[in-house]
Structure 1
Amino acid sequence: MNKLQSLLFATALAASQLSVTAQQSATWNPNLPGGKYKNPVINADYSDPDVCRVGEDYYMTSSSFACFPGLQILHSTDLVNWKIIGAALVDDYPVLPKFQGTDLDWHKRIQHGNYVWAPAIRHHDGWFYIYWGDPDQGLFMTKTQDPRGTWTKPVCVKEGKGMIDCCPLWDDNGKAYLSHGCAGSRAGVKSILFVAPMSQDGTTVTGPSRIVYDGHEDQPTIEGTKFYKRNGYYYIMSPAGGVKYGWQVIMRSRDPFGPYEEYVGLAQGKTQVNGPHQGAWVDTPSGEDWFLHFQDKHAYGRVVHLQPARWVDDWLVIGDDSDGDGCGDPVAQWKKPALKASEDVQPQENDEFDSTALGLQWQFEGPFSHYWYFCDAKKSKLRLYGIQQPETFSNLSDMQNTLLQKFPAENFTVTSKLKFIPNDQNKKRGEQAGFIIKGLDYAAIKFATTSEGCFMRLVKCKDAMKGGKEVTEVELPMSLIEQEKPYTQRYAVDDIPQPRHATPDIYVRTVVKSAGVANSITSTAQFLYSLDGKKYKKLGEPFQVKEGKWIGAKVGFFNCRSTVSNDAAFLDVDWIRFSR
C-alpha cells in the first residue's frame, strides 16, 4: 500500500469509527415535531436502567447479565436521544475462588441469566461508580474517571448468595451506605430491602445489612433499590408487583435505616404500558425532574421510557397525574426536557464492519476471547472463526461465541451479506455457521458441512436452554466456489498454500413483526435469503420469537465446530443493515 493509499484508508477508518458512535436509527425515532418526544425513548432491551447526571451530561447503564462486553454505557444530553459510548466490563468477569470450576464459572459453562443484575451508576468525588448484584456471589463495584474509557477491575463489596439490586449513597455527613434487595430464587426469601454501612471509598461494607422494609403484605416482590437523599429525607425508590405487572414505589425516612413511609408514584392505570417501574430519578440544571424506567415487552425485552416527574410534599409523583390521585400514569408523548439540543440518535444498529474494533452494540454470550473474531477494516468485513463446541453441547444455546445485538424496535427488517468458508480438511466434521435469532428458543439460517457436501438450512430449536433438540425445517444444497489463489504460492517450496472453497455471497434476511400490546404482545420472524441481494425467497414458516433468560431476543451470527482442529471454518460478514 503506497503512502496515498495508506492516508486514504486511515481517513476512511477514522470516519467509520466516528460514524459508529453516532447513528440515526432507521427503525425507531422518539423525536416528534414541536419539541416533543414519544415513548419508549429507547425501544430496545436496556433492562433495569439507571442514570446519573454530571453537569449537562447523562450516563446510563443497565443489566447485562451474562452478555459481554457488559454494563454498556450510554450517553445523552437531552434524556431522549442515547448512544452507546463504552462498557464497564469487557472480556472478563470475576469468579470468586469458591465458585471456580463449578457450574457458576463461565470457564466451565455458559451462564445464561447470571452475573450482572440491576446496576446503579453514580458520580462521586470525580469518579463514576457502578454497583451491581450477582445473585450467586454477592455485590460488586467498578469505577472510572472516564466513562468512555477503561474501568477498574471489579471489587466484591459484600460476598453472599441472593443479594441483588444494590445502590450506593454518599451522605453529606461523610458517611456512606449501600442498599440492596434479595432474590428469592437464591436467598429463599424476597420482598425485603436492606441497608448496610459502607466505607467512604466504596470498596466494602463496614457492618451487617439490616432489613429496613418488608413488603410482603403491600409491596410483593419489591426489589431494584435506588438510594437518594433530598431535603433531609433518605429515599429508596423500588419496583414492586413483579416485572410484567408492577408499579413504582417511593419510600422515605429521616434515617437511612428507617422507619420508612411508602407511596406509589407510578402505575399502569388505563394505559398500555404494563409494569412501568424500576429506574432512575434525575434532575436538570434548570430544576426539572424526570424518571426513566423500563417496560417489559416480552420477546423484545425491557424497553426504556422517560416520564415527567414533580415533587409534591416531598413525594415524587411520576408521569401524568391528571386525575389528581397522587399516582401518575405513564405518558405516551410529552414535551422534551429543557436541555441542550441533541442530534437524533439511538443505540447503534447497522455495521459495515469497516473498523478495527467491534461496534459497541455487539455482545457475546459470555466473557470472550479475542481469538474468536477479526475485524478486517482493510477489506471491510467481520470474520468469525469456528470455535469448538463444549463437551456438553446440545444445541447452539451452549455457545458463548455467538455474537449478537438487541432488537431495535418491534417491527423491523434486518439484512446481512455473508459467506461461509469451510475448512477443506474438515468437510465431514460438522462445521456450522450462520445468522441467528436467539432467545429461549432460536431459529437460524445455518450453513453446515457434512459427508454429502455443504448445505444451507433453516433450523429451529424450542426450549434451547433446557437442552431442546434442533430441527431442520428446510435444507438446500450449496455449491462451493474455489477462492482466489494465495499470492504466496509463488514463494512456497513445500507445503504450498491452497485456496479454500466457499459459498457464493449469500444475502440473509429476517422480517420481524409484532402483534398485540402490553402483556399480550407477541413477535414473529420470517427468514429469507437471496443470491443477488434483489430477489428474496422465504425459508420455512414464520418463527415465534421468545425472550431469552431475563433479556430480550437478539440477532446476530455464530460459527462452531464439533471436533478438535487447529483451524476451522470462517464466516465472513460484509455488513448488517436494519430498516423498518
Structure 2
Amino acid sequence: MSRAWTADLGDGTYRNPVLAGDWSDPDVVRVGEDYYLTASSFGRRPGLPLLHSRDLVNWSLIGHALHHPATDGEPAAPRHDGGVWAPSLRHSGGRFWIFWGDPDQGVHQISAPDIRGPWTRPHLLKAGKGLIDPCPLWDGESGEAYLVHAWAKSRSGVKNRLTGHRMSPDGRTLLDGGKVIVDGDLIPGWFTLEGPKLYRHDGWFWVFAPAGGVETGWQGALRSREFFGPYEEKVVLRQGETDVNGPHQGGWVRTPAGQDWFLHFQARGAYGRVVHLQPMRWDDAGWPVIGDAGEPVSVHPKPDLPPQPVTAPVADDRFPGGRHGRQWQWTAGPGTGWTVPHSGDGLLATCVRTGHAHDLRTVANVLVQRFAAPGFTATVGLALRSRASGAKAGFAVLGDAFSWIGLERKADGGVRLVHRYAEEAAERERDAAYSRPVPGTGRVRLRIEVSAGARCRFSADTGDGFRPSGEVFAAVPWRWVGAQLALFATAPPGARPAGTALFSDFRINA
C-alpha cells in the first residue's frame, strides 16, 4: 500500500503536519503505551474515525466508532455542515468515551470497553440547538464528573461562551441546569471562543480552548481552582512568525515518561484541517507553553518513545470481496444494497436511481476519502455495467464546487466518456469537456492529479494512454470539510434495477 505523506523523517525527527488529511477538530487520549485520536466526521458515515499510534507521529486508521444514526429521524440526505462536530475522546472507569455536539440536536455520547468496540448506541445527554464541542472530565481528586460545551451562533444565536455542568459518573445525566463558566465577551481581544477540552492538573481545572476563528485564531488556556470559575486566561499558541495559520483546537496528552504534547489542527482550505504535533512544557508560573516559545514547530525531534515503523493512514484500495477500506465514508446513509459483495476484487457499486444526479453535493450514495497530501496522483479503473439509459459512474473531486470524469450510458446504448463540473453557486453540473465514445469493452482508467493549491487535472485512458480532459479545476472545501475524492454510480428515476459499475485498483502516488 502506498502512502502519499509520512511525517516521520527517519532520523529521529518528524515534520508537520503529522496527519496531512482532513482530520478536523482532533482529540487524543493515552491508554497505557497506546495513543488514540478521533476527529469530526460531520454527516459522513461511518462517523467518528479512530486512529492509533505508539509515538504520536506514525498513525493508522483502525476503524470508526459511530455506525448508527444519532436519532431515528436523522435525514438520509448529506449534511455537510451538520452531524458530528468536535468530539472529545476520553478513557475512564475501564471504558472509552466519546462526546460530541450535533448543532441541530444536542450533546451525544457513546462508550465502549475497547477502542475497536462494540460501541454503545448514541445517548442524547443534552438536547438543544447549537450545543457543540462538549468535553467531559472525571475528576480523580474529588470523584466528581463534569461537562463543558460551547455554542454555535448559527443555531442558537449564542457564541463566545462556555457552559459547564456537573454530570453523573455514568455520563448519562446532567445534574444541574448549567452555568456559563467563561464568557469570551469579557476577555479583551478574544472572540469565537469554542472547542473546549477539560483537564485537571496541578490542583487546577484547565480548559484548553481556541479563539479567534478557524483560519486566523490561536490556542488559549484557562484555569481556575473551582470548576465553575472564575477562570484566568492566557494565549499559549499563536501563528507568530510562522506560516501555520490558525494553530489551535486539539488535545493535550502526556507520555509515560512525563513529556507533554499537544495535537491541533491547521485549516488549509481545500485540503481541510490537517493535524500538527507540538511539544509542550509548563513555565514557572504553571502555564503551558506550546511549540517553540508559543509558536508552531515545522520539524522537531520525535517524542521520547520506542521507535515505530513509518506509517500513515492507507489510501490505496483493491476493494477485496467488493468491500471498501476504512478510509472511505458515505456522504450519508449508507443505504441497503449500495454495493454488491462478490468473490473478486473491485467495488461493485449499484447505480442508485435518483433525481439528484445532476448535483453530486446532494447525492447520498457517494463514497469519499480525504486528500492524502498537498500533491498526489489518484487513479482508479471503471467499467459501467448498467444498461439503463442515463446511468453514469465516475471519479470526482467534491466540495462546494465539484468536478468529475467517468462513463455514461446514452439512449442509443453506447457508452461515452464524460467530464462535468459545477461551480459553487450552480445548482446543476455542466460539461467540462466534449464527451467521446469508449471503444471495446467500455472500460476506462481515470486519473486526478492534484498539485499545489489543490489544482486538479483530470485525464482518462480508454485504451490509448492517458489523455487530459478539460481545464484545471481548483478544488474548494465544503463549509467545514476539505475537498474529497469521490466515487459514485447513479441512474435516473425509474422502477427497475439500473445495474452496477465496477471500480477497481484505486491507487494514490505522491
- After TM superposition, the score normalised by the length of structure 2 is 0.96
2:432 aligns with one of 470, 473, 492: 473
Spell out the pairing of 1:286-365 with structure 2 (5 A cutoff): 286-312=257-283, 313-321=285-293, 328-355=294-321, 357-365=323-331
Task: Indicate the residue corresponding to 2:118 in structure 1.
Answer: 150
Task: Indicate the residue corresponding to 2:447 in structure 1.
Answer: 509
Task: Indicate the residue corresponding to 2:505 in structure 1.
Answer: 575
2:148 aligns with one of 151, 155, 179: 179
Task: Indicate the residue corresponding to 1:222 in structure 2.
Answer: 193
Task: Indicate the residue corresponding to 1:546 in structure 2.
Answer: 476
Q: How far apart in 2 are the matches of 1:284 and 1:208?
A: 36
> By how many angstroms is 1:355 displaced?
4.7
Spell out the pairing of 1:97-108 with structure 2 (5 A cutoff): 100=73, 105-107=74-76
Task: Indicate the residue corresponding to 1:404 in structure 2.
Answer: 368
Q: How far apart in 2 are the matches of 1:405 and 1:394?
A: 21
Letter in 2 for 1:542: V
Spell out the pairing of 1:76-475 with structure 2 (5 A cutoff): 76-90=53-67, 92-95=68-71, 100=73, 105-107=74-76, 109-172=77-140, 173-216=142-185, 217-312=188-283, 313-321=285-293, 328-355=294-321, 357-376=323-342, 378-390=343-355, 395-423=359-387, 426-427=388-389, 430-452=390-412, 453-463=414-424, 468-475=427-434
> By how many angstroms is 1:478 displaced?
2.6
Q: How far apart in 2 are the matches of 1:116 and 1:370?
A: 22
Out of 54-63 and 542-551, give the one that drifted further. Answer: 542-551
Q: How far apart in 2 are the matches of 1:210 and 1:394?
A: 47
> By how many angstroms is 1:565 displaced?
2.9
Contact 1:119–1:133, Cα closer than 8 Å, also in 2: yes
Contact 2:244–2:266, Cα closer than 8 Å, also in 1: yes
Q: How far apart in 2 are the matches of 1:37 and 1:83?
A: 16
Q: How far apart in 1 are the matches of 2:12 and 2:2?
A: 18
Q: How far apart in 2 are the matches of 1:458 and 1:358?
A: 24
Contact 1:86–1:149, Cα closer than 8 Å, also in 2: no
> By how many angstroms is 1:150 displaced?
2.3
Report Cα offsets for 1:186-211 as digits up to 9, x if no partner.
11021111111111100121211210
Q: How far apart in 1 are the matches of 2:358 and 2:487?
A: 18
Contact 1:121–1:129, Cα closer than 8 Å, also in 2: yes
Q: How far apart in 2 are the matches of 1:434 and 1:185?
A: 34
Q: How far apart in 2 are the matches of 1:400 and 1:198?
A: 37
Contact 1:385–1:560, Cα closer than 8 Å, also in 2: yes
| Structure 1: runs of 5+ lacking an equivalent | 1-22, 322-327, 482-501, 515-521
Letter in 2 for 1:555: L
Contact 1:387–1:560, Cα closer than 8 Å, also in 2: yes
Contact 1:66–1:112, Cα closer than 8 Å, also in 2: yes
Task: Indicate the residue corresponding to 1:13 in structure 2.
Answer: none
> By how many angstroms is 1:433 displaced?
1.1
Contact 1:353–1:375, Cα closer than 8 Å, also in 2: no
Q: How far apart in 1 are the matches of 2:408 and 2:487?
A: 14
Contact 2:322–2:348, Cα closer than 8 Å, also in 1: no
SS at structure 1 position matched to 2:87: strand
Task: Indicate the residue corresponding to 2:491 in structure 1.
Answer: 561
- After TM superposition, the score normalised by the length of structure 1 is 0.85
Letter in 1 for 2:420: V
Contact 2:322–2:346, Cα closer than 8 Å, also in 1: no
Q: Which has the higher helix share?
A: 1
Contact 1:167–1:226, Cα closer than 8 Å, also in 2: yes
Q: Percent identity?
A: 40
Q: How far apart in 1 are the matches of 2:50 and 2:35?
A: 10
Report Cα offsets for 1:469-522 as digits up to 9, x if no partner.
2111223333475xxxxxxxxxxxxxxxxxxxx51x2111011011xxxxxxx3
> By how many angstroms is 1:311 displaced?
1.1
Q: How far apart in 1 are the matches of 2:439 and 2:139?
A: 66
> By how many angstroms is 1:567 displaced?
1.2
SS at structure 1 position matched to 2:493: coil
SS at structure 2 position matched to 1:444: strand
Contact 2:208–2:219, Cα closer than 8 Å, also in 1: yes
Task: Indicate the residue corresponding to 1:15 in structure 2.
Answer: none
Task: Indicate the residue corresponding to 1:518 in structure 2.
Answer: none
| Structure 2: runs of 5+ lacking an equivalent | none
Report Cα offsets for 1:315-365 as digits up to 9, x if no partner.
1110001xxxxxx10000100001122111111100111256420000000
**How many pairs does the alignment contain?**
505
2:458 aligns with one of 527, 534, 551: 527
> By how many angstroms is 1:278 displaced?
0.1
> By how many angstroms is 1:468 displaced?
2.1
> By how many angstroms is 1:393 displaced?
6.2
Letter in 2 for 1:151: W
